Structure 1
């Protein structure tokens, strides 16, 4: 069920009314309703994969209980590794089986030996990468004694399958989200209004920005051999705003929807395209995943402690694993490695913790240095996104090679000129909204709050009309494939 669909527009108010009026603020009933609604929401795609979520829930619930009763360190490790191996095993089978098989066959062929391997027609369960990491956070934190294991199976089930963030995050930590299922929740009008405002802004990002950018990014990437370097730059920019609007838009809708039910999810994006270096970008992009890898992979490996070789190794591991998490294709691995190369100079010179404050804080405009750093960082990010979007490594290299050719200085060719120019104008307006809100947690958070009520609501109506007027073709969220 897509957030930007009629199905969800009917589903959400029904669940909302049942949640607040039928349960009579009974905590157990509320949690049970969340589980039922979440399973219905997920089963709307394919009910068969509900068994995977249920199995993962039962497994980690009982492993958590087992960890609480076990003091023997060896047995505790065995329980932890059971959770890790089983959860990652399911993820690996559904997501990476054909990738490893194909590359194994190719490697043997390269060595002059012919072998055959039968690929499987495997359907990737929607959101498996997200809820797998979410359940793993529970068992790892229980193992580290950062969290008491729950005895409430319904509350734990609700934590695992919570429908607003089930299929594309944010990837919540058990230490943050699970305790919210233990607390009594009562309706708060202000929180609900904030949630609706967040949903509205998320739909603007997705329907107005991402879906329209997707049309022209697809045209240019799918026919890249026919375009000049200048046009390919446009295609890469369209994709950069497509993926940002698409993924951060989903996160905004998820966060806003959660607030309607009395929950607070972590911020997943914090104006990443205003970053002044790659380290800052990764503190602001897909925060829930980058902090997950930092806490559960990077720091256990030694982090930035130790010698230079250790720092380089750990940096490449974390970025390559992050890239591979996104998909079973060498393009994602190279995307991760390229970001590691961007990041290393900052780490080795100990400048990776610069720019902790929002850019141009307290000022209307950035200074010249800040502006140039933003442009440079965005440019490096756009180049990396080409690998993320390309069909294969050869496609990405050919695309970039044409950009850095003399055709870069040709007049760009706009596919469907009027519509593509209109989309570029919408991007500019969108960036201005984001820039105005960059000092807040969310761009829409305080927008118009102090304005006259009529003016404020007029703005919201403009947003709603824009969603219907400029709405592109309904497209699945990009991160559903991960």
Structure 2
């Protein structure tokens, strides 16, 4: 079940909200837990047992670790902590990287290892990182152990951010699990966030995504430079509005249930450097790796050699987190090297360039990164990048490229405008004016977004979610 589906919008969400608000406060977390488990089981009935194991295991482990910490039993504290971390990572590794490992072994061994390809449990990367954040913070004494099983279960399974984030660290919601605000104003804010995200996902990401899919299906030898660049830009817009829209919907749903989640995207395509881009893109993932990997390794308060090592480790892991394939590893390494280049010598030179030149520099590098990301294999990635420079394709401009440019020019302009804060600032400035007309206009705009989105979804055969199985 995805947020941008008719069933979710008109059946699951209304019933869940009704049940959540009619029960007394002391049962709200239980209702959220129950509905979240149903939401998860809807797509993967078998894997709900895996999630229940994760809840029970980490709940009991947290209590055990807290007990050893309070009793100052350092030896058992470390054993218990590392055992819990290893079990969590082993589960994630088995389901996400088992096939990748066997395939690579089969490529080098003189015999074939038979294996059955497993479907990846929905959201396992997200909820594994959430449980790890809890275990690490309890181990460090940063947060008190959660002894209420229902509250802990609600934190792990919370459906608004279960399958696509943002990755909610336990420190962000610890207090909210026991006390949070419900109000009509906050609920209205949640609806606004949700509708903006729905519009991004359905009206922008889905439509521009069809263009990328069509171009990706063209044989490399028949792909011109123009066509290749249009396809790459289309994918860049699709993944931003797809993932960013889903994150906005998650934040909106969180507000409807009284929670405050961190913003996950902050107009990354206006960045003037790759460093800035990763401060604006998938903020919750970057924060997680910084807090739980980069800083524990020493961060930048070490020698230059170790600092370089720390950055490369973080970005290799970031790439591998996104997928079990060598192109994701190279994608992570690509960004690690770019960030190192900026930190070590590029940053002063970039600052001397005009703002637009800095933004163009960053956006072009990000586009090459997306080629590594969306390509099925490394070979496919290099072939596509070659097409972008006229190597192995059908020239610089052809009728196919001109067709896709003409068909998508208006949509690409709209996507470009919506990927900057300019349009949103204009809208906010207008709606904050005094008088009833701005409020009425805002209501009309949000209603139009909803109606057009539903009209699209009713007959839609194309409604993917790119991060559904991360």
Do the structures match in fold with TM over 0.5?
yes
Tell me if the contact between 1:198 and 1:444 (Cα under 8 Å) persists in the aligned partners. no
Kept in 2, the 8 Å contact 1:197–1:256? The answer is: yes
Task: From the superposition, tell whether residues 444 and 168 of structure 1 become closer, same or farther in structure 2 (CA, over 3 Å).
Answer: farther
Distance in structure 1 (CA, Å) of the matches to 2:369 and 2:305: 24
Shift of 1:96: 0.4
C-alpha contact 1:198 1:445 (8 A) present in aligned 2? no
Picking from 176, 179, 187, the partner of 1:192 is 187
Distance 1:468 1:63 in 2: 44
- For residue 54 of structure 1, what is the aligned residue in structure 2? 52
Q: Do residues 448 (structure 1) and 446 (structure 2) align?
A: no
Indicate the larger mover: 470-479 or 389-398: 470-479
Shift of 1:150: 1.0
Tell me how far 1:87 sits from its aligned partner.
0.8
C-alpha contact (below 8 Å) 1:437/1:445 kept by paired residues: no
- Contact conserved, 1:197 with 1:444, CA < 8 A, in 2? no
> Is 2:390 the counterpart of 1:390?
no
1:429 aligned to 414, 421, 425, which one? 414
Q: Which whole-Å CA distance do the structure 2 matches of 1:238 and 1:182 have between them?
A: 43
Aligned partners of 1:377, 1:344: CA distance in 2, in Å? 14
Which residue in 2 is equivalent to 1:204? 199
> Counterparts of 2:430 and 2:55 in 1: how far apart (Å)?
40
- Following the alignment from structure 1 to structure 2, what is the Cα–Cα distance between the partners of residues 8 and 296? 34
Separation (CA, whole Å) in 1 of partners of 2:402 and 2:53: 49
CA separation in 2, counterparts of 1:234 and 1:263? 39
Match of 1:6 in 2: 6
Among 190, 200, 211, the alignment partner of 1:216 is 211
* Count of aligned pairs between the two proteins: 458
* Partner of residue 464, structure 2: 476
Q: Extract unaligned runs of 5+ from structure 2.
A: none
SS of corresponding position for 1:264? coil
Give the direction of change, closer, same or farther, for the CA distance of 1:426–1:466 in structure 2 (3 Å limit). farther
Contact persistence 1:127–1:168 (CA under 8 A): yes
Aligned-pair RMSD on alpha carbons? 2.4
Give the TM-score normalised by structure 2.
0.92
Q: Of residues 311, 314, 329 in structure 2, which corresponds to 1:315?
A: 311
User: CA–CA distance in 2 between the matches of 1:236 and 1:396?
Assistant: 11
| 1:247 partnered with 2:235 | no
State the distance in 2 between where 1:15 and 1:414 align.
47
Q: In 1, Cα distance between the equivalents of 2:138 and 2:52?
A: 20
CA distance, structure 2, for counterparts of residue 18 and residue 38 of structure 1:
12
Aligned partners of 2:227 and 2:401 also within 8 Å? no
Asked if structure 1 preserves the Cα contact closer than 8 Å seen for 2:225 and 2:397, the reply is: no
- 1:193-241 Cα shifts (integer Å, max 9, x gaps): 1111111111111111111121111111122412112210100000001
Q: 1:328 aligns with which of 324, 333, 338?
A: 324
Once the two structures are TM-superposed, the CA of residue 73 in structure 1 deviates from its matched residue by 1.4
CA distance in 2, matches of 1:193, 1:234: 38
Residue 189 and residue 146 in structure 1: after superposition, are their counterparts in 2 closer, same or farther (change >3 A)?
same
Whole-Å Cα distance in 1 between the matches of residues 430 and 313 of structure 2?
Answer: 40
Q: Conserved in 1, the CA contact under 8 Å of 2:230 and 2:401?
A: no
Q: Following TM superposition, by how much is the alpha carbon of 1:17 offset from its aligned partner in structure 2, in angstroms?
A: 1.4
1:276 aligns to 2:259 (yes or no): no
Q: 1:458 aligns with which of 444, 447, 452?
A: 444
CA distance in 1, matches of 2:270, 2:310: 26
User: What CA deviation, in whole Å up to 9, does each residue of 1:346-400 have, x standing for no partner?
Assistant: 2224949x99xxxxxxxxxxx9811111111011000110010011000000110
Task: Tell me the TM-score normalized by structure 1.
Answer: 0.89
* Structure-1 residue corresponding to 2:33: 35
1:127 aligned to which of 123, 130, 143: 123
SS at match of 1:44: helix
Contact 2:197 2:244 in 1 (8 A): yes
Gaps of 5+ in 1: 109-113, 356-366
